[in-house]
Structure 1
Amino acid sequence: MRYLAALFLMSFPVLEVAAGQPVGIDSCRAMALRNNKQMSISEVKQDMARNIRKSARTKYLPGIHAFGSYMYTSREISLLNGDQKSALSNIGTTAANGINSALQNAGASLTPEQLAAINGQLGALGTSIEQIAGGFNEHINSAAAMLNAGGRSLVDAFRTDTRNIFAGSVIVTQPIYMGGSIKAVNRMADIGERMAAGTAEAVRQQTIYDTDKAYWTVVSLKHKKKLAESYLALIKKLRGDVYKMIAEGVATRAEGLGVDVKVNEAEMTLLQVNDGLTLSRMLLCQQCGLPVDTELITDDEDKDKIVPVAVPVEATAVKTAADNRPEIHVLQAMADMSKQAVNLLKAGNLPKIGLTGGYTVTNPNVYDGYQKKFGGVWNVGVLVSIPVWNWGDVAYKVRAAKGASAIAALEVAEAREKIELQASQSAFKVGEASKRLTLADSNVKRAEENLRSAEVGFREGVMPATTVMEAQTAWLQARSQKIDAEIDIRLSDVNMRKALGTLEQ
């Protein structure tokens, strides 16, 4: 329902214009603010600034990251070299050969006479010993085979098979002290949001100002069109009277040609006013977000008199104009932003402390021997980073940022001076416009009286047609100046409120 209501409100001004009803200046302002593309851009920028500010707040919070990896290698890691593998695989054979070699060396140390004497003495016992020795050799060979198998199993146990490696981890990081960089980033985000709001307000006031200017231009040209039509009617009436007098022989052909020239000039003026009015309506329609061919009728164009607005300007309002101007707010925000940029750069020379923790799993793992399955371990620690030497890089950047901050401060001071001057000039123009309107009223009264006297004298035959044409021209100029003075009061009032930063819808 809320969206339907919004759509209805957006379409209401169009329906009102389509119905041919006059549109007041407040309605034009509302349509302009609703349909202005720059206003839409400003709203998007404000939304962006809000999201950036929210993003900056998250820097205070812990971050959680999960990682996973797989790696295949062409060769596996070997904890034993080739000689060690061969020695372990033949450890039984080596031992048996050693024993046999020792027995053979012991037998070789006896002489044949000694061996014969021993055999003679042992007799049947010797035969038994030989049988026992044959069985001993069989046990040695069996033990050698068992040792060889054990060695080979040991070699297999030391095999890593690291050609396929899987790893994964979850890491939690919590910043404790970042040298003030997080605080500076958050302040910059707040300033950015304030800057976006100031820019949007500046666009809003400029939109209202441009709409008012287009609106009162249409009103001015419409009144001048009526004035041009009245003047054309007067000059045509004079032409008819002159041609009647020419026919009666009391006026010359030259007077008739002079009146014809004035008629042509009046028609040309009316044509120019009509063209200007059409173009001005197109501009106002574009400001209001309407099709340029819309017949937009303003509420003040058909009134007999443009009611001026007299707004007194206080001296204190001029002095405090800079505090109300959105442009100053934007420039001040930029100056504050440059100060925070200095703090952000200074953090490069300060230590940074963070708390880390997480859980890591690997396959294969070595947490309980060497296993070809996933195994994990918890970890927690403190990370400290202390900059020791960077050849003055940070110091140079800080100095440059301080220079930019000083420039921004000077620009704010200069803008304040210019705004105060602009406000003073706008207040002066308001008073000047009021004076011009007073003089224009007086001139209109004199011109109307002069025209009345000239027309009476022309009808009585005591004044020539040229005098009447001069009086009509003076009347046209006086009325045109009065219209300009009335419109100028309206525009100077809008310009003054814009200069004071108090231009509201």
Structure 2
Amino acid sequence: MKWFLSLITLMCATGVDAQQMLSLDSCRAMALRNNKQLNISRLKQDVTKNIRKAARTKYLPHVDAAGGYMHTSRELSILNGTQKYTLGNIGSIIGILDEQTTAIINRIGQKVSDAFRTDTRNIYTASVMVSQPIYMGGSITAANRIADIAEEMAANQTEISTQSTIYNIDKAYWTVVSLRQKEKLAESFLKLVRKLDDDVAKMIKAGVATRADGLKVSVKVNEAEMQLTQVEDGLALSRMLLCQLCGMPADSDITLEDEGKDELGTEITESVTDIKEAARNRSEVKMLQNAIDISRQTTKLMRAANLPQIALTGGYIVTNPNLYNGFERKFSGMWNIGVLVRVPVWNWFESAYRVRASKTATSIAAMELDEAEEKIELQINQSRFRVKEAARKLAMAKKNIERADENLRCAELGFREGVMQTTDVMEAQTAWLQAQSQKIDAEIDVKLSQTDLKKAIGELK
């Protein structure tokens, strides 16, 4: 019996834990953690960070090692054929010596000739070279600055992706809350029309209402059931979208913290003081400014290609055969140090054309920045107007609810007293439904308009 009770308890606990209660902040956190595009932006930011570190190494000495082996079909020869023949037959050429002496001198001459052989058919080489840039026309500094700006741009892109993710999750969250409120409203409305249908059915039996009245109410009941079904379907799809944005399975059983609230906390806060300053703080504007800065550094990079470049070089080279001791079959080498100077002389104005093109690209980027700032300022003004308009609509919606409640109460009372028709009650119910629905829409519009404003001023975090 004990194990059975334990099993029941475990099943109940599992059923409770299966449904997740999510707040707006928890949905944001999951979305920021699981959003693939945002994770891609973070990885791109890491890429630019490493590129910036790589650019810094251009200031430092670079060491290169190289080695090789080469086999040739012929060896290098210091002596030509005539000289080799002469040395090998020098005794015979003299011609005045006896035969034995001639042979001895020929052998000595041949040994001298053989000593001049290089035996370079198999060559081994190895070298270590060090190079230190001294002056590169400013190209290294410009390249490093470009890498710094690219890293800033990647960070701004990540911020844009973050705000976009938060905006989408907020929109999906409040859509679910809105549809849940409308689902409860549709259920309440269905109860109202079903009660009216029941009352009319009783009145038909009593002979104080016609069948036509009953049919009208029945049609209204069917419409209310259809509306409830549509809202339920929309709510299910909205929950799936929210789960997908949060990185959860689409069929997850979730409940939102704000679903059961009658009031959603629609306080209006004005957070914009200087529109121009707010526009400049937008990540999109910062990215355009980054583009201008990169274009300017690119101009410097183009100009550096037409300036002198100076570098120190040094290293150690070894060879086998030994080039420094009569081509001896041993490894031997030498140190070297030098200065490398490169001065462009003539390239048919290629650098000048590139510099002009880069300056023009900078001007284009500056114009795009000005246009973007103007559009963002307009967007901020529109968002501020929408917030104020949403607040006014919500205030009007609350007043309309009071009137609709009173109108419905009077219609139901008059219907019970027999002084009002069925159609009057249905009209009052429809007006009540519309007023309640407008209030829900107005509350959600206040939330979304404030989100739009925060996104417009770059403070959606």
State the TM-score bracket (shorter-chain normalisation): over 0.9
* Contact preservation (8 Å) 1:282, 1:293: yes
Correspondent of 1:428 among 376, 385, 393: 385
2:436 is the alignment partner of 1:464: no
1:69-121: CA deviations, max 9, x gaps? 100011112222222211111101121x2x3xxxxxxxxxxxxxxxxxxxxxx
The one-letter amino acid of 2:357's match is A
Residue of structure 1 in register with 2:410 after alignment: 453
Residue of structure 1 in register with 2:140 after alignment: 182
1:155-203: CA deviations, max 9, x gaps? 1011112111111100000000111110011001100110011011111
Matches within 5 A, 1:61-460: 61-95=60-94, 97=95, 99=96, 140-316=98-274, 318-460=275-417
Q: Distance in 2 between matches of 1:171 and 1:69?
A: 15
1:455-478: CA deviations, max 9, x gaps? 111111111100100110000000
* Contact preservation (8 Å) 2:63, 2:130: yes
Q: Distance in 2 between matches of 1:283 and 1:32?
A: 12
Q: Distance in 1 between matches of 2:301 and 2:216?
A: 79
Residue of structure 2 in register with 1:134 after alignment: none
| Alignment: residue pair count | 448
Displacement of 1:503: 1.3
Displacement of 1:305: 2.1
Structure 1 residue matching 2:181: 3-state secondary structure: helix
Give the TM-score, by structure 2 length.
Answer: 0.95
Q: Distance in 2 between matches of 1:207 and 1:496?
A: 15
The one-letter amino acid of 1:350's match is L
Displacement of 1:54: 0.5
Residue of structure 2 in register with 1:116 after alignment: none
Displacement of 1:393: 1.3
The one-letter amino acid of 1:253's match is R
Residue of structure 1 in register with 2:22 after alignment: 23
Q: Distance in 2 between matches of 1:285 and 1:20?
A: 13
Structure 1 residue matching 2:266: 3-state secondary structure: coil
1:28-73: CA deviations, max 9, x gaps? 1111111111221121111111101100000000000000010001
The one-letter amino acid of 1:198's match is N
* Contact preservation (8 Å) 2:119, 2:327: no
- Sequence identity, in percent? 60
Displacement of 1:404: 1.3
Q: Distance in 2 between matches of 1:329 and 1:486?
A: 33
**RMSD value over aligned CA atoms?**
1.5
Give the TM-score, by structure 1 length.
Answer: 0.87
Residue of structure 1 in register with 2:8 after alignment: none
Structure 2 residue matching 1:320: 3-state secondary structure: helix
**Residues 202, 16 of structure 1: alpha-carbon distance in 2 compared, 3 angstrom cutoff:** farther
Displacement of 1:370: 3.0
* Contact preservation (8 Å) 2:20, 2:253: no
Displacement of 1:141: 2.9
* Contact preservation (8 Å) 2:129, 2:316: yes
The one-letter amino acid of 2:45's match is Q
Displacement of 1:18: 4.5
Q: Distance in 2 between matches of 1:19 and 1:188?
A: 51
**Residues 471, 411 of structure 1: alpha-carbon distance in 2 compared, 3 angstrom cutoff:** same
Structure 1 residue matching 2:406: 3-state secondary structure: helix
2:446 is the alignment partner of 1:478: no
1:209-261: CA deviations, max 9, x gaps? 11111111110000000000000000011111111112222212221111111
* Contact preservation (8 Å) 2:76, 2:119: yes
Displacement of 1:314: 3.9
Q: Distance in 1 between matches of 2:412 and 2:272?
A: 47
The one-letter amino acid of 1:291's match is P
Displacement of 1:364: 1.1
Structure 2 residue matching 1:361: 3-state secondary structure: strand
Displacement of 1:304: 2.1
The one-letter amino acid of 1:443's match is N
The one-letter amino acid of 1:252's match is T
Structure 2 residue matching 1:297: 3-state secondary structure: strand
Larger-gyration structure (1/2): 1
1:416-469: CA deviations, max 9, x gaps? 111111111101111000000010011111111111111111111111100100
In structure 2, list runs of 5 or more residues that go unmatched. 1-13
* Contact preservation (8 Å) 2:272, 2:278: no
* Contact preservation (8 Å) 1:17, 1:295: no
The one-letter amino acid of 2:58's match is K
Which stretch shifts more, 275-284 or 254-263? 254-263
Q: Distance in 2 between matches of 1:184 and 1:403?
A: 18
The one-letter amino acid of 1:202's match is I
Displacement of 1:296: 1.2
Structure 2 residue matching 1:160: 3-state secondary structure: coil
